[in-house]
């Protein structure tokens, strides 16, 4: 099974979302399926079909969240070594091509949010940075070609 790296906050958010799906979304769609059944002929009942499709989607999402939590490894910030880039740290990198510094937090894929500076440990940039130290130049293969970044700082 694939490990899913989560921060304590990310685990709590996922548990809350799972609880919401189980206690609010799931019962709501079951209720809508019941109401749609009352309309009669199920073979031409678009409300019933839509509710059943939504139910399948909700169940798939519940299953995925449960799987992530079952295989979660919680990132302990006290155990992060700030000498090298690792999951859970913030890393500031310099992109010479665009003459800019960018800061990312490296997280597990379940918590990644690139628009807010949180990248996954399995993303091209995240996986390339892991294990490197301040001052090192890291080559990253991206869909647009190879890019080089210099690691400026690593923080917890």
Given 74, 90, 118, the domain boundary residue is 74
Query: Are residues 133 and 83 located together in one domain of the fold?
Result: yes
Query: Are residues 69 and 113 located together in one domain of the fold?
Result: no
Domain count, the chain: 2
Q: Which domain holds residue 98?
A: 79-155
Alpha helices in 94-139 (DSSP H): 124-129
Query: Are residues 14 and 68 located together in one domain of the fold?
Result: yes
| CA distances in angstroms from 140 to 67, 72, 143, listed in the order given | 30, 27, 10
State pLDDT tens for residues 2-48: 789 998 989 999 999 999 999 999 999 999 988 888 877 666 778 88
Query: Are residues 54 and 17 located together in one domain of the fold?
Result: yes
Given 32, 55, 74, the domain boundary residue is 74
pTM for the model stands at 0.78
The reported pLDDT for the residue numbered 2 is 77
**Which CATH number covers residue 141?**
3.10.50.30
Query: Are residues 21 and 85 located together in one domain of the fold?
Result: no
Q: How many CB atoms lie within 10 A of CB 102?
A: 15
């Amino acid at each position: 099974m694939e490990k899913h790296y989560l921060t304590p906050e990310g685990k709590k958010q996922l548990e809350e979302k799972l609880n919401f799906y189980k206690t609010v979304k799931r019962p709501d769609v079951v209720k809508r399926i019941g109401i749609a059944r009352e309309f009669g002929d199920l073979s031409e009942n678009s409300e019933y079909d839509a509710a059943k499709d939504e139910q399948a989607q909700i169940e798939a999402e519940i299953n995925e969240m449960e799987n992530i939590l079952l295989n979660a490894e919680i990132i302990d910030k006290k155990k992060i070594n700030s000498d090298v880039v690792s999951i859970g740290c913030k890393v500031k990198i310099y992109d010479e091509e665009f003459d800019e510094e960018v800061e990312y937090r490296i997280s597990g894929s379940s918590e990644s949010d690139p628009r807010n500076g949180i990248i996954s440990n399995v993303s091209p940039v995240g996986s390339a940075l892991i294990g490197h130290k301040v001052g090192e130049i890291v080559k990253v293969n991206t869909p647009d070609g190879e890019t080089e970044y210099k690691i400026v700082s690593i923080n917890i």
